[in-house]
Amino acid sequence: ESMQADATTTAVCGYCSTGCGLRLHLRDDEAVGLTPETTYPVNLGMACPKGWEALRVLDSEDRATEPLIRTSDGKFALVSWDHALRLFTTRMKGIQRQHGPDSVAFLSTGQIACEEMAFLGALAKFGMGIKHGDGNTRQCMATAATAYKESFGFDSPPFTYDDFEQSDCMVFIGANPCIGHPIMWERVLRNQNNPEIIVIDPRRTESAMSATQHLQIRPKSDLALLYAITNHLIACECVDRKFIDQHTEGFEKLCEHVSGFTPDAVAPMTGISADAIRQTAETIGRRKAVSLWWTMGVNQSYEGTRTAQAIINIALITGNIGRPGTGANSITGQCNAMGSRLWSNTTNLFGHHDFKDSADREKVACSLGIDPECIPTEPSWSYDGIMDGIRRGDIRGLWVIATNPAHSWIHQSEARNLLDRLDFLVVQDMYHNTETARHADLILPAAGWGEKSGTIINSERRYGVLKKVRRAPGKALADFYIFRALASYWGVEEMFSEWSDPESVFRIMQRASEDQPCDITGIEGYEQIDRCGGIQWPWTEADAEGDFQPEQQRRLFADGRFYHDDGRARLVVDDVTPMPEAPDAEYPTLLMTGRGTVSQWHTQTRTSKSPVLRKLYPNEAYIEINPKDAAAMEIANGDQIRAQSRRGSLLATAMVTPTVKPGHAFMPMHYEATNQLTLGHFDPHSRQPSYKDCAVRIERA
């Protein structure tokens, strides 16, 4: 039978935060193939291998197709949805009755649609009386969100992807867009301004190799380096006094704070010469349109928030914000991390309001048509707080949605022990055999990308539309409809009577967004988002009536007004702190973890299901070590090695390469065992785990 398409439609990709538009080729309303969308303003006809393979991973035999419960012999048995939802309700309510409402928590994700996050957050917190829930966005964006909120007054990445093409100097800090965000990197390569491209990274990454300048700093010396750059910008009067005076707060304190961070003083800490530091500062100072970009190298750090703010400070004091080609720009990780930040109802109340503010609670209650008394007056515990709660026995029931903590959470063996301590663990996922699902008491089979509709928000604040172009396998249901069914089994159906389908929830979100910086009251609906190639927030009713078109690129702060009440951005500084587990005689190597390839995603839950993507990446775990270290340890490229930390050990293949300096090693996060080694420590402000620094010992196996 011919598989020739008879129609096409578009949808955004559901892996990374780039948010590429994909054209789905349909036959009888089912997608039979896809190509990158040529007219979508994000990707302009390009896609990375994960996007190209997005349909393939839906067909895997590992899909969860029916609800499963763990039986007394420890095996899983198929049950009906009715049985599964009754069990969920009886067990979770039973735990709450016995140990209090806060004894049940949820862990969600940046991988589902905004409307699903909104439903989950509202159902759990307002319907089920669950106070504590967090998302895997804690592992990726919490730091950037915290930094923006303190500095700008709202979690507001200011940029648009056009800035990659408009800059004449781009600084990438702890970011490897060449493989992490390859389509954004393509935009960098299109830049016609002969830009200076400076990469600050302890590894010689693919992006560093393509840069005009690579500052290969000692791991976790980024905060000191950024203060030294700031010091020199001030010393050589490369700052924008007018902008500082009119639009910022805290410049005197900043000057005083960085006065000790001279390039000469900081050179030995960072391993970068004072001349190179001065040259970098002067390049930033001289260029007209400087943009600074960061991702996980900064966010996943024990002093990440202050490091992100040191980047923001540089943009502010040089007036590099609000104009084309500028900005202090956090590139998000997951496809809908931004959606989680606005709509998950975890750290912030629905629509980025404040749980502690009674006026905000009233407003949200009114938008949702619920009693304000249903809304908790405190935000949730963060992810690590929930894990601590399990350890203490305060949390006994956990509901995990589209995330895989048994693989991805820092200090893995402890995370797995904690999951086993729970009285009841529910895992809601597309696949029945994730590392976390192996610990579950109940598995709820979920539809995946391509099998459901809704919206997601990319790194440049652009809402894009997901479409249902495939039937989910077996009895798997869209997360949205699982939440809807649970609302009914829990007995709170009435509270959600308006939440009948994703677009109805989008309208509720619009109401709740009114007068927030992320106001989207002017959007007509999914059809308009689709037609315009996505719409960036804010898009207010006033915008809809004005001259600016939704298709136009929009960057924030063009008028120099920030979201604090006085309109001024804050310049935030802090002490540089020592690495919690520095290498020593027993564990002499510093291990960094991170993204290893363009073809795999996170814990490989989906991407490992594509033979093409598997071929593009070694299936066996490997660790990068420097040739000098390898020679000293008599390790050859390809040898089996053992890496051991104070928490665990693993076997891997040695990749002997100068990408890491002597004394350092790098292991991709995609392998199951990687987090056996990592140390459970966190940024104190964002509570984001610090994945990039732990001490290990490496030897031949």
CB atoms within 10 A of CB 494: 11
Q: How many residues bind ligand SF4 (CB under 6 A)?
A: 13
Burial of 396 (0-12, 13-18, 19+ CB in 10 A): buried
182 binds ligand SF4 per the rule CB under 6 A = yes
As a 3-state breakdown, the chain gives helix, strand, coil percent values, each rounded to 5, of 35, 20, 45
Query: How many residues are present in the chain?
Result: 701
Contact call for residues 571 and 678 (beta carbons, < 8 A): no
**CB distance 133 to 355 below 8 Å:** no
Q: Is 506 in the site for ligand SF4 (CB under 6 A)?
A: no
Say how far apart CA 329 and CA 351 lie, in whole Å.
Answer: 21
Phi, psi for residue 456 in degrees, rounded to 5: -135, 160
Minimum Å gap between C-beta 182 and ligand SF4 is 6
Cα–Cα nearest to 680, from 417, 435, 412, 419 = 412
457 interacts with ligand SF4 by CB under 6 A: no
What is the smallest separation between the CB atom of 54 and ligand SF4, expressed in angstroms?
7
Q: How far apart are CA 140 and CA 156, in angstroms?
A: 16
Q: Which residue has the tokens 């086993």?
A: 420
* Of 41-49, 87-95, 202-210, 538-546: span binding ligand SF4 (CB under 6 A): 41-49
DSSP state of 217: P
> Which of the 8 DSSP states describes residue 1?
-
Token duo for residue 110: 């940046």
Judged by CB under 6 A, which stretch of 15-23, 277-285, 478-486, 553-561 contacts ligand SF4? 15-23
| DSSP secondary structure letters along 330-394 | EPPSBTTHHHHHHHS-SSSBTTTB-TT-HHHHHHHHHHHT--GGGS-SSPPPPHHHHHHHHHHTS
CB of 417 to ligand SF4, least distance (A): 33
Q: State the nearest-atom distance from the C-beta of 48 to ligand SF4, in Å.
A: 3
Shortest spacing between CB 534 and ligand SF4, in angstroms = 12
The rounded distance, in Å, linking the Cα atoms of 427 and 68 is 10
Query: Is the bond preceding 182 in cis, omega lying within 30 degrees of 0?
Result: no
Among 24, 26, 31, 47, which residue interacts with ligand SF4 (rule: CB under 6 A)? 47
Question: Closest CB to ligand SF4 among 20 and 400?
Answer: 20
Contact stretch for ligand SF4 (CB under 6 A) within 18-26, 161-169, 233-241, 314-322: 18-26
Minimal distance in Å, beta carbon 111 to ligand SF4?
A: 12
- 183 is an interface residue for ligand SF4 by CB under 6 A: yes
Binding characters for ligand SF4, 138-177, by CB under 6 A (x = yes): ----------------------------------------
16 binds ligand SF4 (CB under 6 A): yes
604 binds ligand SF4, rule: CB under 6 A = no
Q: Which residue lies nearer to ligand SF4 by CB, 13 or 124? A: 13
Q: Is 450 left (phi over 0), alpha (psi -120 to 50) or beta?
A: left
Backbone phi and psi for residue 334, each to the nearest 5 degrees, phi listed first: -85, 160
Residue 118 binding ligand SF4, by CB under 6 A:
no
Q: Which is nearer to ligand SF4, 182 or 327 (CB)?
A: 182
| Minimum distance from residue 210 beta carbon to ligand SF4 (Å) | 17
| Binding segment (CB under 6 A) for ligand SF4, from list 45-53, 353-361, 447-455, 617-625 | 45-53
Site string for ligand SF4, 194-233 (x = CB under 6 A): ----------------------------------------
Q: Is 247 a residue that touches ligand SF4 (CB under 6 A)?
A: no
Q: Which stretch binds ligand SF4 (CB under 6 A): 46-54, 200-208, 279-287, 494-502?
A: 46-54
User: What's the gap between Cα 438 and its chain centre?
Assistant: 24
335 vs 592 by CB, closer to ligand SF4: 335
Q: Which two tokens stand for residue 264?
A: 């000469």
d(CA 396, CA 398): 7
**Minimal distance, residue 437 CB to ligand SF4, in Å:** 23
β-bridge partners, 228 = none
With CB under 6 A as the contact rule, the residue among 23, 24, 31, 50 that binds ligand SF4 is 50
Distance, CA of 661 to CA of 132 (rounded, Å):
42
Q: Which is nearer to ligand SF4, 288 or 615 (CB)?
A: 615
Output the smallest distance, CB 616 to ligand SF4, in A: 13
Nearer to ligand SF4, 51 or 522 (CB): 51
Tokens (6 digits) for 532 = 């315009």
Nearest to 419 by CA among 403, 434, 401, 440: 440
- What is the smallest separation between the CB atom of 462 and ligand SF4, expressed in angstroms? 11
18 binds ligand SF4, rule: CB under 6 A: yes
Taking CB atoms, the residue at the shortest distance from ligand SF4 is: 51
Is residue 225 a contact partner of residue 263, using CB atoms and an 8 Å limit? no
Cβ 467 vs Cβ 451: under 8 Å: no
User: Backbone phi, then psi, for 27, in 5-degree steps?
Assistant: -130, 125
Residue 211 dihedral angles phi and psi, to the nearest 5°: -80, 165
CB-side neighbour CA atoms (13 Å) of 246: 10
CB 495 within 8 A of CB 126: yes
Considering the rule CB under 6 A, would residue 13 count as an interface residue with ligand SF4? yes
* Smallest separation, CB 10 to ligand SF4 (Å): 13
Judge contact between 306 and 572, C-beta under 8 A: yes
Identify which range of 14-22, 106-114, 306-314, 384-392 contacts ligand SF4 by CB under 6 A.
Answer: 14-22
Residue 353 vs 595, nearer CB to ligand SF4: 595
Q: H helices of 552-687, where?
A: 611-615, 627-632
Q: Does 58 bind ligand SF4 (CB under 6 A)?
A: no
Task: Provide, rounded to whole angstroms, the least separation between the CB of residue 613 and ligand SF4.
Answer: 11
Report the residue from 10, 11, 19, 166 that binds ligand SF4 according to the rule CB under 6 A: 19
Residue 15 within binding range of ligand SF4, rule CB under 6 A: yes
- Of the pair 177, 202, the CB lying nearest ligand SF4 is at 177
Interface with ligand SF4 includes 20 (CB under 6 A)?
yes
**In this complex, which beta carbon is closest to ligand SF4, that of residue 109 or of residue 345?**
109
What is the closest distance, in whole angstroms, from the C-beta atom of residue 20 to ligand SF4 in the complex? Answer: 3
Tell me how far, at minimum, the Cβ of 43 lies from ligand SF4, in Å.
Answer: 6
Residues that bind ligand SF4 (CB under 6 A): 13, 15-16, 18-20, 43, 47-48, 50-51, 182-183
